[in-house]
Amino acid sequence: MKNILIAGVMAIAISLPSLTSAQSKSDEKKAAITNLINTQTYVFTAQSSMPPGPSPDRQLNGNYDLTVTKDSVISYLPYFGRAYTAPMDPSKGGIQFTSTKFDYKLTEKKKGGWTIVIKPKDTNEASQLILNVSTGGYSTLQVIGINRQPILFNGYVDARKLKK
C-alpha cells in the first residue's frame, strides 16, 4: 500500500510541470489573441464553410482568409449558396473585396472572447461580417451579403503574416 501511495505522489509530481507549462502556453496564446484583437491586426483563416440550406459542410484548404487592419478589410473567401445576381466579371467568384471604409464594433463576451461586427461601406460583396473569436483564437465568421444568402465559416484568428 505504501508503494502505491509513493508511486501516486511521484506521478503527480512528475505531471505538475507539464500541467503548468500547458497552462502557461494557454495564457500566452490568450494574451497574443487579446493583443491582436485590441490592435485590430489579425487574419481569420477559414478551415470550413457551412452554406445555407441542406448543403453539407465543406472543408477548405486553408488558402481562404479575411485580413483586418485599422485601415482596411481584405476578403478572399469562397462562396457556396444562392446568389441573386451574377457578378459582372465571372473570374471574381466568391467573396473577394478590399474595403477601406467600414464600421468596426468590438464587444467583449462575458465568458471570454469577442464579437466583432464589421460593416463595409464601399463594396457590394458583403453588407456585414460577424466574427466570433474565442480566447484561444478559434472563430466563426458569418458573412451577410447584399445579393446572396448568408454563409458561415469556421476557422481561427492569428497574426498577419508579412509577405517577403
Q: What is the pLDDT of residue 92?
A: 66
Q: What is the pLDDT of residue 27?
A: 79
Per-residue pLDDT of the chain (164 residues; tens, 9 = 90+): 656 656 555 555 555 555 455 667 777 888 888 889 989 999 999 999 988 777 778 888 868 999 999 999 999 998 887 766 666 666 667 888 999 999 999 999 988 899 999 999 988 888 999 999 998 899 999 999 887 889 999 999 998 776 54
For residue 69, give Cα distances in angstroms to 14, 38, 41, 83, 160: 44, 11, 5, 28, 9
Domain ranges in the chain are 2-158
CATH code for the part of the protein at 2-158: 2.40.128.410
Residue found under cell 469577442: 114
- pTM for this predicted structure: 0.79
H or E element at residue 77 = strand 73-77
The residue among 128, 155, 114, 154 whose CA lies nearest residue 30 is 114
Q: What is the pLDDT of residue 75?
A: 92
